[in-house]
Amino acid sequence: MQTLQVDLGERSYPILIGEQLIDRGELLACHVRGKQVAIVTNDTVAPLYLERLLQSLSEFRITPIVLPDGEAHKNWQTLQLIFDALLAARHDRNTTIIALGGGVIGDMAGFAAASYQRGVDFIQVPTTLLSQVDSSVGGKTGINHPLGKNMIGAFYQPQAVLIDTATLATLPARELSAGLAEVIKYGLICDEPFLGWLEDNIDRLRALDQAALTEAIHRSCEAKAKVVGADERESGIRATLNLGHTFGHAIETHQGYGVWLHGEAVSAGTVMALEMSSQLGWISTADRGRAVRLLSRAGLPVVPPADMRAEDFLKHMAVDKKVLNGQLRLVLLQRLGEAVVTSDFPQEVLEATLNVNYDALTQ
């Protein structure tokens, strides 16, 4: 087992990474201060891992809360089901909520923990690659609104994150690829050597080689923990983690939540951010091509949806959280391994980026 620390003063917490950690209740129990625990999961993950987690924590009084699976359910109606169950089982302020599942479960259970009785303890047990390397680390929680993704939520840190790498064996290949989009992102924004490692190991990762997965998860969490430790509430450098996300969120919103996976939308969005960085003369077309090839080898889409026009992107991007005082800010690359958040670009370059024929570009 490997352990990382996210440094946030009194809100610091450990990330534990290893195989079969779900069966090691003692790793979780030391982070539970009361007798009550609620496990929030979904109807896909519950049959796979809920029973084992219940066994591990048999000393506690546990309320399992099984939600419908999918981004389409990341809304207030589903969040209410958590509150209903907590109140029906009389959970008090000393309760601990454990999120067992992917990013949607983690975001919703985390926001429920932030809001239930104005805040109770929270532990993340992410079971998808995407949530293991991204959403479970850093304290962003929330739900979607019909007018925008992740618009309602809280910054709320967990007591601990427990990553059981063995859970990836049950993850569909498409979701594994979606997780790799965020892994590759860390290389692009802050760790150029990691990009080289990924080029050498991308096939092993897709074949679920456990050693390669452990290395990739550890390195990704390390990058994220460092950035979050420096800027918890995203006033500066943390926003670089959103490479490809502003374009990507526009894709997700336009297609309707859940049609494209988040990582897929981020992948196509990253290609657009790379193209814009290239048009600004910040990275070479060769570097852009290198990154696009890696995303493509990871099994990810590198072209935005055929039916999306420039005006569709502009409309959805106008309500993005990265808009400040009416000005759109984008994460772009100054070179491979170095990202910048900026609103200092000509509008024509953005529009040219939105009008590129990506099919031709990524041939």
249 catalytic residue (yes or no): yes
Query: Which listed residue (31, 219, 224, 322) is catalytic?
Result: 224
Active site includes 31?
Answer: no
Residue 31, annotated as binding a ligand: no
The verdict on whether residue 96 carries a ligand-binding annotation is no
**Cβ-Cβ contacts under 8 Å for 198 (sequence gap 6 or more):** 183, 184, 187, 205, 216, 294
Supply the minimum distance, in Å, between the C-beta of residue 182 and a second copy: 19
Q: CA 264, CA 249: separation in Å to the nearest integer?
A: 11
Smaller CB separation from a second copy, 83 or 282: 83
Q: Which tokens in the block code for residue 145?
A: 């609104």
* 9 forms part of the interface with a second copy (CB under 8 A): no
Residues 129-158 close enough to bind a second copy by CB under 8 A: 140-142, 145, 147-148, 150-155
Nearest by Cα to 308 from 346, 349, 359 = 359
Cα(340)–Cα(236) distance, rounded to whole angstroms?
10
The minimum distance between CB 131 and a second copy, in angstroms, equals: 18
| Residue 118 a catalytic site member | yes
Beta strands 140-145 and 338-342 are unpaired
Residue 315 annotated to the active site: no
Q: Is 262 annotated as a binding residue?
A: yes
* Closer of 111 and 194 to a second copy (Cβ): 111
Binding mask 226-265 for a second copy (x = CB under 8 A): -------x--------------------------------
Q: Find the binder of a second copy among 258, 321, 335, 337 (CB under 8 A).
A: 321
Check residue 315 for interaction with a second copy (CB under 8 A).
no
Per CB under 8 A, which of residues 325..354 are in contact with a second copy? 325-326
* CA–CA dist 224, 335 (Å, integer): 19
| CA max distance for the chain | 61
Among the residue ranges 196-204, 243-251, 252-260, 322-330, the one whose residues contact a second copy (CB under 8 A): 322-330
166 binds a second copy (CB under 8 A): no
Q: Which contacts of 88-94 are long-range, i.e. CB under 8 A and separated by 24 or more positions?
A: 89/36, 89/38, 89/63, 91/36, 91/38, 91/63, 91/116, 91/120, 92/34, 92/36, 92/117, 93/117, 93/120, 94/33, 94/34, 94/35, 94/36, 94/120, 94/121
Residue tagged active-site, from 91, 185, 254, 262: 262
DSSP string, 234-253: -SSGGGGGGTTHHHHHHHHH
- Residue 357 in the binding site for a second copy (CB under 8 A): no
Q: Kindly report the CA angle at 311 between 75 and 286, in degrees rounded to 5?
A: 95
User: Is 107 assigned to a binding site?
Assistant: yes
In the set 218, 245, 254, 316, the catalytic residue is 245
Q: Catalytic: 24?
A: no
Establish whether 185 is an annotated binding residue.
no
C-alpha dihedral, 322 to 326 to 332 to 337, nearest 10° = -40
Encoded tokens for 16: 């534990």
**Residue 103 annotated as part of some ligand binding site:** yes
Residue 360 engages a second copy in binding (rule: CB under 8 A) = no
Stretch that binds a second copy, among 19-27, 33-41, 204-212, 331-339 (CB under 8 A): 33-41
Q: Is 182 an active-site residue?
A: yes
* Cβ-contact 300, 177 below 8 angstroms: yes
Separation of alpha carbons 295 and 271, rounded Å: 9
Residues of this chain that interact with a second copy (CB under 8 A) are 34-36, 76, 80, 83-84, 87-88, 90, 92-94, 114-119, 140-142, 145, 147-148, 150-155, 233, 318-319, 321, 323-326
Task: Show which residues are catalytic.
Answer: 118, 140, 182, 224, 234, 238, 242, 245, 249, 262
